[in-house]
Amino acid sequence: VLFLNKTYDLQLDDNYQIFELVKNDKPGTYKLKFNVSSPRIADSPRYADLSKDELIEEIECLSDCKAALKTSGELENDPNQVVAKLDAALAMAEKKKYLGPKRIEAYRNTTT
């Protein structure tokens, strides 16, 4: 449940039963109670709609958040998917040619 809450930005209770017994299958067969799809942060129109200045400001903010998570030892938990959002924002900045490869690499390396 913790993994699903973290990865898919869900709000399931810690005791939520994510599996259910399949009645018309082999005895003891369980399946997920719901369908799960991949997070689509990179496909988010949020970054595509930002101006150059707004996108760079977002990248700087996410970079600072990532550095703070690393300092506090919480980077592996990353509850708000800061790393994925930063990667998506950097990919958009690269696609729109707002930042060059060296600057993008610098954002990635200074906080890892």
Q: For 48-88, what is each residue's pLDDT tens digit?
A: 889 999 999 999 988 888 888 888 777 777 767 888 888 88
pTM of the model: 0.59
pLDDT at 79 (0 to 100): 65
Exposure string of 21-56, with b = 16+ CB inside 10 Å and e = fewer, is: eeeeeeeeeeeeeeeeeeeebeeeeebeebeeeebb
The model's confidence at residue 100, banded by pLDDT at 50, 70 and 90, is very high
The 10s digit of each residue's pLDDT in 16-56 is 777 778 777 678 887 767 654 444 555 567 788 899 999 99
